[in-house]
């Protein structure tokens, strides 16, 4: 048989192909048969390295502020002492300053924001049994016109749906918040591990990048490595700018929504502001969710408050969607506000909420590569 294989090259290639396909099918069968075990192992591994992933995320977010503060610190040193402090000293002072800010923010969160939110959630759960009666009362108050196109049965169905939804969400959020507070020891250990890793990532980022670069030089060719580095630089430029812009936009949405609702005496102002800020990562949809939630929760107090909340938050939503977000995102990712809006519309149409989130950095990355290709073609006089 081996002699035939040597004589007939085609037979050898066919045999090799059959062998590879067979091994591949066996591999697929093994994966399908043990998919539960493999999924469990992957989940366990992710839980194991979760502090590393979170630490990397924190370090990535703080990297740009660190560079900014470090430059300012060196500039101040040159002006005051006529001498620039060493990179090691400036890096250590900058990291200490940033983490004091982070610890201060966490302290404010746990002492000034979480307790009112938990109070809001408890008030919401206590008020839910009265929601159905309130809805019926408000419909009757609006008069025969409204009653002509919505029946009492429909009112009861809507009230029941909203009550169950708010009850489930409120109970889950309350359990999550109180769980974090009661499990202080485990949370503190995990947080401490993450903070230490973040500090090392920031302090030794050049050393870590150099180690990764050496490993990549061994595994990849020079041409491939060059392209990978360029891609990573582009991703950092686009995604980093997008992330910072989204954080600023979310913070503004949360604070502004809370202030608006506090000014009109909304009992759930802080809770609605938090939801609006978190949901604001979804362009357009986030502020709308905040406006709807503010209106629904306003019904627990009065119909007037619900309508006023809806009007004011909708006005802010329009300002946020058409002015604030396009301006922030266009400045951070280098896209014209018109292209930002178009990218969001296309991404949302084809991929829903996920598409709306990833559409802007994807469009910015596409713009970078198209611009480079245009300049290359122009240099070669092909266009």
The most confident of 84-88, 237-241, 314-318, by mean pLDDT: 314-318
Let me know whether 175 and 258 are in one domain: no
On whether both 353 and 245 belong to a single domain, the answer is: yes
Burial of 232 (0-12, 13-18, 19+ CB in 10 A): exposed
Q: What is the pLDDT of residue 345?
A: 76
Identify the band that residue 137 occupies on the pLDDT scale cut at 50, 70 and 90: low
Q: Is residue 371 part of a domain?
A: yes
Residues 240 and 104 in one domain: no
User: Is residue 71 assigned to a domain?
Assistant: yes
Residue 94: strand, helix, or coil: helix
Residue 21 in any domain: the answer is no
Q: CA-CA distance, 374 to 383, in Å (whole number)?
A: 8
- Overall average pLDDT of the 195-213 stretch: 83
Q: Residue 88 class from Cβ within 10 Å (0-12 exposed, 13-18 middle, 19+ buried)?
A: exposed
- List, for residues 236-265, the tens digit of each pLDDT value: 777 777 777 778 888 888 888 889 988 988
Compute the distance between CA of residue 59 and CA of residue 45 in angstroms, rounded to an integer: 21
Residues 93 and 169 in one domain: yes
Same domain, 193 and 231: no
Residues 383 and 291 in one domain: yes
Q: Is the pTM of this model over 0.95?
A: no
Residue 256 CB partners (closer than 8 Å, separation 6+): 316
Is residue 352 in some structural domain?
A: yes
Query: Range of 64's domain?
Result: 34-133+160-205
Confidence (pLDDT) at 283: 64
d(CA 181, CA 256): 27
pLDDT in tens, 144-163: 655 566 666 666 666 676 66
> Could you say which of 205, 232, 258 is where a domain stops?
205
pLDDT band at 78 (very low <50, low <70, confident <90, very high): confident
Our CA angle for 295, 297, 302, nearest 5°, is: 80
Q: How far is CA 158 from the centre of its chain?
A: 31
Kindly state whether residues 291 and 197 are assigned to the same domain.
no
**Residue reference for tokens 């909304």:** 266
272-310: per-residue pLDDT in tens?
888 888 887 776 666 778 888 888 888 777 778 888 888
Does 58 reside within a domain?
A: yes
CA 375 → CA 215, 300, 361, 372, distances in Å? 32, 60, 21, 5
155 in a domain, yes or no?
A: no
pLDDT confidence tier of residue 70, bands split at 50, 70 and 90: confident
Residue 200 and residue 227 in one domain: no
Give residue 159's pLDDT.
65
Number of domains in the chain: 2
- Answer yes or no: is 306 within a domain: yes
Same domain? For 172 and 274 the reply is no
Q: Are residues 196 and 295 in the same domain?
A: no
Average pLDDT, rounded, for the chain: 75
Residue 187 shares a structural domain with residue 226: no
Q: How confident is the model at residue 183 (pLDDT cuts 50, 70, 90)?
A: low
Residues 195 and 330 in one domain: no
Last residue of a domain, one of 142, 172, 205: 205
Tens digit of pLDDT for each residue in 22-67?
777 777 767 666 666 767 777 777 777 888 888 888 888 888 888 8
Name the CA dihedral angle for 285, 289, 290, 294, rounded to a multiple of 10 degrees.
160
Please report whether residue 16 resides in a domain: no
| CA distance linking residue 232 with residue 220, whole number of Å | 15
């Amino acid at each position: 048989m081996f002699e035939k294989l040597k004589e007939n090259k085609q037979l050898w290639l066919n045999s090799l192909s059959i062998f590879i396909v067979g091994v591949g099918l066996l591999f697929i069968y093994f994966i399908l048969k043990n998919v539960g075990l493999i999924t469990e192992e992957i989940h366990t591994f992710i839980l194991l390295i979760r502090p590393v992933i979170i630490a990397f995320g924190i370090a990535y977010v703080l990297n740009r502020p660190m560079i900014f503060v470090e430059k300012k610190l060196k500039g101040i040193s040159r002006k005051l002492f006529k001498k620039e402090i060493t990179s090691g000293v400036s890096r250590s002072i900058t990291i200490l300053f940033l983490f004091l800010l982070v610890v201060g923010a966490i302290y404010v969160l746990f002492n000034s924001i979480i307790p009112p939110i938990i109070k809001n959630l408890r008030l919401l759960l206590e008020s839910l049994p009265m929601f159905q009666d309130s809805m019926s009362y408000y419909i009757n108050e609006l008069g025969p016109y409204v009653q002509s196109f919505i029946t009492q049965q429909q009112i009861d169905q809507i009230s029941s749906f909203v009550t169950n939804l708010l009850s489930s969400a409120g109970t889950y959020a309350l359990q999550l918040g109180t769980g974090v507070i009661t499990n202080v020891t485990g949370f503190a250990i995990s947080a401490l591990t993450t903070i230490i890793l973040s500090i090392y990532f920031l302090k030794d980022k050049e050393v870590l990048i150099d180690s990764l670069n050496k490993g990549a030089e061994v595994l990849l060719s020079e041409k491939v490595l060059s392209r990978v580095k360029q891609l990573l630089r582009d991703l950092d430029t686009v995604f980093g700018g997008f992330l910072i812009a989204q954080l600023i936009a979310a913070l503004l949405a949360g604070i502004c929504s809370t202030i608006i609702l506090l000014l009109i005496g909304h009992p759930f102002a802080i809770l609605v502001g938090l939801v609006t800020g978190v949901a604001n990562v979804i362009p357009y949809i986030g502020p709308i969710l905040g406006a709807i939630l503010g209106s629904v929760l306003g019904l627990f107090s009065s119909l007037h408050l619900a309508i006023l909340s809806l009007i004011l938050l909708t006005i802010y939503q329009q300002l946020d969607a058409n002015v604030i977000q396009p301006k922030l995102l266009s400045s951070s990712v280098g896209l014209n506000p018109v292209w930002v809006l178009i990218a969001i519309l296309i991404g949302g149409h084809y991929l829903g909420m996920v598409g709306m989130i990833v559409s802007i950095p994807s469009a910015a990355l596409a713009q970078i590569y198209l611009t480079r290709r245009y300049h290359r073609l122009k240099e070669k006089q092909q266009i």
